[in-house]
Structure 1
Amino acid sequence: MQPCPCRSSLNYQDCCQPLHLGATADSAEALMRSRYSAFSLELVDYLIASHHPSKHSPNDRQGLQQSMQNTRWLNLQILDSEPDDRVEFIATYEENGKLGQLHERSNFVHENGHWYYLDGDLLPAPKISRNDSCPCGSGKKFKKCHFSTSS
């Protein structure tokens, strides 16, 4: 039993895996969580399939594969989820040995019984102080976990 990468507190097979195998998300937040897990697990086909078809480009697959080569996704924090179509989140990752955060307000659309990621507005990442909890989700203070790799 593997914990779900989206940090929902459920096991992967009870959370995001059914969506990755073809089940339909019942909300924008469920799709957001499954997309984060897909980034963590490098499920390029799922990421392309769950992105709205109007936003596809010929370079999607190559771009996703390149971004995944040096990125390890560490933690997902949902800040706000509007039932209709928006999810604000912070995703923490490590890229080329440096800690980073993606803070986004994502827009989703529900069409023909399926949720799709449409686009997102990037927001400033929160400032992390040495004595704050590390955003990677380890439970350690930032200075004892990732401070040395991100300064």
Structure 2
Amino acid sequence: MALCPCGRLAGASKPLTLEQCCGRFISDFEKAPAPDAESLMRSRYSAFVLERADYLLATWHASRRPATIAFDAGVKWLGLELRQHRVSDTTHAAVEFVARQKSPGSRAVRLHERSRFVREEGRWYYVDGDQL
């Protein structure tokens, strides 16, 4: 069983499998929404690693959703670090994270972002983010 790309750990620092963690949200968006903004952010990271444009588009808020998503060829995702998960109220939250990636022939780069999420009709959606 493959480990979850998001790096979430169970008790005793044991890595979770994709199926135990983000896979259930990615594979069944309609019936298994992410329970909070942190889980949605983690599952979106995993969806980038797995190149699951369908999930990324479905979890992007309609007010900011792009028409399509293109993945850069050969990108290797190197890890995710969660810095902060802040809940403003029952329908708004923010997650600060650092994601690392490497493109062929170049040095690894870090994406440090504070993402904003909104909850509508029982589902969390990514709205936008500020690069830090």
Give the 3-state SS of the residue equivalent to 1:57 in structure 2: coil
**Alpha-carbon deviation of 1:71?**
1.8
CA-based RMSD: 1.2
Q: Which residue is 1:40 aligned to?
A: 49
CA contact (8 A) 1:25 1:114 kept: yes
How many pairs were matched up? 118
**Alpha-carbon deviation of 1:70?**
3.6
Deviations 1:1-27 (A, max 9, x none): 110000112110010011002211111
The answer to whether residue 94 in structure 2 is matched with residue 90 in structure 1 is no
Runs of 4+ in 1 over 2 A off after TM superposition: none
Identity %: 44
CA contact (8 A) 2:57 2:66 kept: no
**Alpha-carbon deviation of 1:95?**
1.5
Higher helix share: 1
Give the 3-state SS of the residue equivalent to 1:115 in structure 2: strand
Deviations 1:3-58 (A, max 9, x none): 00001121100100110022111110000000000000000110000100111233
CA contact (8 A) 1:90 1:101 kept: yes
**TM-score where L is the length of structure 1:** 0.74
Structure 1: gaps (5+ residues):
124-151
Query: Which one has more relative contact order, counting CA pairs under 8 Å at least 6 apart?
Result: 2
Spell out the pairing of 1:1-151 with structure 2 (5 A cutoff): 1-8=1-8, 9-21=15-27, 22=29, 23-58=32-67, 61=68, 64-65=69-70, 67-84=71-88, 85-97=93-105, 98-123=107-132
Structure 2: gaps (5+ residues):
9-14
Deviations 1:73-120 (A, max 9, x none): 110000001134100000000023320000000000000100000000
Higher strand share: 2
CA contact (8 A) 1:42 1:68 kept: no
